[in-house]
Structure 1
Amino acid sequence: MNPLNVRSEIAPLKKVLLHRVGKEVENLTPDILERLLFDDIPYLEIARQEHDAFAKLLTDKGVEVVYLEDQIAEVVKDRAVRASFINQFLDEAGLFSPGVRAAVKEYFSSLDNHALINTMMAGLRKKDLPQIADYSLTDMLSSNYPFILDPMPNLYFTRDPFATIGSGITLNHMRTDVRNRETIFAEYIFKYHPDYKNQEIPLWFNKSNTSCSIEGGDELILNKKVIAMGISQRTDAAAIEEVAKKLLFAEEETFERILAFKIPAKRAFMHLDTVFTMVDHDKFTIHNQIEGQLKVFSITKGSKNNLKIIEEENTLANILKKYLGLDQISLIKCAGGDQIDAGREQWNDGSNTLAIAPGEVVVYSRNQVTNQLLKENGIKVHVIPSSELSRGRGGPRCMSMPLIRKDL
C-alpha cells in the first residue's frame, strides 16, 4: 500500500498528521506576536484539552492519528541523521555565532530525542543557557532579546509546511522566515522515517529549488482530476506553475487540471481554505466577500510540455459545475453572508472545515451560525471546542494534514 494517498478533500479520512500544541505558545509575548503571526496568546492548558478533543474525535471515527513530534523523534534516533538535522535547524534559525552555536549543540547533546524536538519547537530562552556570554558584535547588539532560538507556535497548523497530493507531496517554501523552519520536520520525515525512507515519494514542489512561496492552506483536491489552488497572501502564482509542471505531467497521477483562485491578499483571507472548503461532492463553504472578487484561471497540459492557462469567464458555481461534472453546486456562505456574523465567524475560521467523509465535517464550536447552516444543508457536523485554538487563526482543516484517504 502506498504510504500516501489523497485524491479528494472529502473522501473518508484514514490517516492524519497532527501536532499537539506545546510550550511554544507559552513563549509568545506581546512584543513578538506580529512577527510570529499571532494575534493573541493561547492558554496552553485549555488549548491542549481542545486539541486532545479534536484528536479523540478523529480516532473515534477510525482515523489513525500520528503526531509530528513523535514522527521526527523517531527519525533522529539515527545519530548521523540527528546531527544533520540539528545543523540544518540551526542554519535555518540563523544561529551562526560559533560560540553560541557550540553551546546550543552541547546542550542539545544532553537531551533525549523527544526532549530535543520539544525544545526546538518550544524555542530556547537565554536563561536556559546562562553560561552563554556575548560572543560577537551581533550577540552584544541583541543581548536584550530573550531567545536564543525563537518559538515555533504555528506548528499546530500542520496543513501548511507540506501538502499531500495523490501519492506525493509539495515540500513547501513558506512566505515568512519565521515559518520556514517548520518544513525541515517534513523534509526529514519523508526522507528518513521508516514509513517512507524506502519509498520514492514524489516531490511536486521542492522548497530547496526556488524562492517563490506556497503553503498547504492554498492546496485543495476537489477530485482525482481537479485541484484548486489559491494565489493568496501566502502563495505565489509562480509556485502554482511549478506544481503544475510536475504534477500534471506525472504519468503515475490522474490530475488533469488546476484551478487557480486569485483571492485578496489580506490577513483575514490568508489562505484559500480560510474562505473556501469542500464539504460534500457538490457542496462548499465560502466567505461571501470573496465571491465577487474571485478570478479563476484554468491550468492544463499544453503542447511540448508547456502549460495552457486560460482565465475563466463565468461564476464560481458554474466553473465548479463545469469541471467537476455536476448539475448543481451549493455554495454555503459563512454565517449566511450577514455582514456582522460573517465577519466574526470568518475571522474564527467558520469556512475552514475538515471533511472526514462526504458530507461529514469537523468544525469549531464558536461558529454557531455557520454550523447551523451546514446542518440545514444536510451536512453532518462534528463540533470541537475552540476558545483557545482559534487564537492562532486557523481551523480544523488548518490543524490537520491528511496522509491517507480512501479513494472515492
Structure 2
Amino acid sequence: MPVEPAVAPFHILSETNALRQVVVHTPGEEMALVSPENADELLFDDILFLEEAREEHAMLIRLFQAAVGREDAVLQVTDLLRETFEAAEARTAFVDGLIERMPYRNFEAYESELKGLDTDGLLRFAVTGQAPFPVTALPIPNLLFTRDLSAVVGEHVLLSHAATAARAPESVIMGTIYAHHPRFAAVRDRVIVLPEDVSFEGGDLLVVDERVVLIGQSERTSLGGVLAVARELLTRTSIEHVIMVNLPKARYCMHLDTVFTFADAETCVVFPPIIEEAHDHTFILEAIDGDPSDLRLRPCATLRDALEDVTGRAYTFVRCGGEDPVRQRREQWTDGANLFAIRPGLVVGYDRNRATYDALRSEGFHVVDAESFLDFYGDSAATSDARIAVRLSGNELSRGRGGPRCMTMPLARST
C-alpha cells in the first residue's frame, strides 16, 4: 500500500481545493449550559437540543472522513487542547493569556488555583467555565464555530482576535494550541498575531486563490482588523490583492461567509440584497508605491466587479433562497449562503434551505441528502468530478446561527 504524504500543518490556496485536514468541535457540556438567562450574553438566539445537535454534527464529520479518506482528516479542537495541556508550561501560558485578555473577569484572584489544575481540570474550565473553586467564568458554546478561531492563507495562519467578550477565551485557546502543541512546532513562525486594538474573526476571510483574498468589514471584524490582516498578507504571503466588503453591522450578516461562499473556483452562493443589489461597499486595497504598510482603498461598484478585476475570470452567482426575496431572507437567516466546499463542486449545507438547493440544481448540481451521499458515493467522492450539493440535517445546529462553513476551520487543502 502506498504511503500517504504527510499533511502540511498549514496549506490553503483556495476555498474549494480538495480538503485534507479540518478542525471542528462537536458540541458538548458547554452547550448544555446555555440557558434563557445567559443566552444573549453567549450570543445565542435559541436553546439547542444537545443530543440532536451532536448527531447532526457527527454526520458532518462522517462526510469529511469519507470524502478525504484519511484517519487524521478531522481534528477536534478539544483534543488538540487536551494534548497541548499535557505540558505544564502550556497550562501556565493559557491562564496567563486569560488574565491578560480578560481583565474584567478578575482571573488573577484565582491564578494559583487555575495554574494548579491538571490537564482535564483546566480543559473543563476552559470549555465550560466550571472549576472546583468559585471563579466567575462562562461556558464557550460558540466553540462549535471553529471557523472564527483562525484563518489559514497559503502557508501562514492568522490568529483571530475576537470582537466580543463571549468569544475572547476562544482566541486564547487557539493561540495556546499554536504556540505549544507539538503538531505546530515546526511552523510557529508562520502564526500571525494581530495588534490588540483590532478585531478579526475567521468567518470574514475567504481565499479566492493563491493571489487573492476577500475580507469582510463586519460586526465582528473592524476596519483596523481588515487593514492589519491585509498588511500582513501582502508582506508575508503570496497574496497580491485584498478585496474588502463593507457589510451592514448586524447579526444577520455577522461575517462575510454568511452572505457569500464558494461552491467551486468560479461558482458562488450569494445573498442578493447585499452581494448583488447593494453597491459601493466593495474596495480593492492597494499598496502605495509597493509598500504594504501604506494602503489605499480603490472603490468598486460590486463584489463581482472587484473579483473579475483582480482575477480576470467570470463568476456565476447562485442566489441563496432563489428568486423570491422573502425566501432569500429566510434561507440566509438559516445559513443558506454558508456552504462548505469539500472539493471543487462538492458542497454541504443545511437541508432546510430548499430554494437554495433548487438554485444549485439549476446550475448542474446533483442534490442528495447526507446518508444517500455516503451510501452511493462513499470513498469515490474525493476523486469524482460530479457537481454535488449535500443536504445535511441541521434543524438544531442551524439554531446556533452558523452553517457548515462556520463549523469548519480547514488547516490544509490540496494544491
* TM norm structure 2: 0.86
8 Å Cα contact 1:7-1:165 kept in structure 2: yes
Q: Equivalent residue for 1:96?
A: 106
Structure 1 partner of 2:251: 267
The 8 Å contact of residues 199 and 221 in structure 2, kept in 1 or not, is answered as yes
Counterpart CA distance in 2 for 1:352 and 1:282 is 16
Q: What TM-score results when the alignment is normalised by the length of structure 1?
A: 0.87
Q: Does the alignment pair 1:348 with 2:357?
A: no
C-alpha distance after superposition, 1:251-282 (max 9, x if no partner): xx321000001111111011000000111121
CA distance 1:118–1:376, shift in 2 (3 Å)? farther
* Matched ranges for 1:2-401 at <5 A: 2-62=8-68, 64-89=73-98, 92-93=101-102, 94-96=104-106, 108-109=117-118, 113-114=119-120, 116-124=122-130, 129=133, 132=134, 148-204=136-192, 206-207=193-194, 209-250=195-236, 253-290=237-274, 291-294=276-279, 295-303=281-289, 305=291, 306-326=293-313, 328-379=314-365, 380-401=388-409
CA contact (8 A) 1:33 1:40 kept: yes
**Are the counterparts in 1 of residues 351 and 393 from structure 2 also a CA contact under 8 Å?**
yes
CA contact (8 A) 1:173 1:212 kept: yes
Equivalent-residue separation in structure 2 for 1:192 and 1:101 (angstroms): 20
Q: Which amino acid aligns with 1:274?
A: T
* 1:311 alignment partner AA: R
Counterpart code for 2:75: V
State the Cα distance separating 1:97 from its structure 2 match.
Answer: 6.5
Aligned length: 380
SS in 2 for 1:249: helix
CA distance in 1, matches of 2:129, 2:235: 41
- 1:31 is paired with a residue whose SS is coil
Instruction: Assess if the C-alpha contact under 8 Å between 2:283 and 2:300 holds in 1.
Output: no
- Kindly provide the amino acid, as one letter, of the partner of residue 179 in structure 2: K
Change (3 A) 1:58 1:115: farther
In structure 2, the CA distance between the partners of 1:406 and 1:31, relative to structure 1 (3 Å rule), is same
1:403 has 2:398 as partner? no
Once residues 148 and 340 of structure 1 are traced to their aligned partners in structure 2, the CA distance between those partners, rounded to angstroms, is 43
> Retained in 2: the 8 A contact 1:359–1:378?
no
Q: Report if aligned partners of 2:19, 2:412 keep a CA contact under 8 Å in 1.
A: yes
Equivalent-residue separation in structure 2 for 1:88 and 1:309 (angstroms): 34
- Equivalents in 2 of 1:102, 1:310: separation in Å? 48
Aligned-partner SS, 1:335: coil
1:225–1:255 contact (8 Å) kept in structure 2: yes
Write the distance in 2 (CA, Å) between the matches of 1:179 and 1:51: 21
1:348 & 1:151 partners in 2: Cα distance? Answer: 24
Checking the alignment, whether the CA contact within 8 Å between 1:220 and 1:229 is kept in structure 2 is yes
Deviations 1:304-332 (A, max 9, x none): 62444343343433332222221x32111
Q: Once the 2 structures are TM-superposed, how far is the Cα of residue 81 of structure 1 from its aligned partner? A: 1.9
Q: Which runs of 5+ in 1 are unaligned?
A: 133-146
- What runs of 5+ residues in structure 2 fail to find an aligned partner? 1-5, 366-387
CA contact (8 A) 2:285 2:295 kept: yes
Deviation of 1:246 (Å): 1.8
CA contact (8 A) 2:204 2:221 kept: yes
Aligned equivalent of 1:143: none
Deviation of the 1:210 alpha carbon: 2.3
- Matched residues in 2 for 1:100 and 1:223: separation? 46
Distance across 1 between alignment mates of 2:137 and 2:217: 31
1:9 & 1:271 partners in 2: Cα distance?
Answer: 16
Identity %: 32
- The whole-number CA distance in structure 2 between the counterparts of 1:9 and 1:381 is 16
Shift of 1:238: 1.4
SS of 1:197 mapped into structure 2: helix
The 1:233–1:337 alpha-carbon spacing in structure 2 relative to 1, beyond 3 Å, is: farther
> Aligned equivalents of 1:98 and 1:88: distance in 2?
11
- CA root-mean-square deviation: 2.0
Distance in 1, Cα, partners of 2:82 & 2:210: 33
2:321 and 2:127 mapped to 1: Cα distance?
35
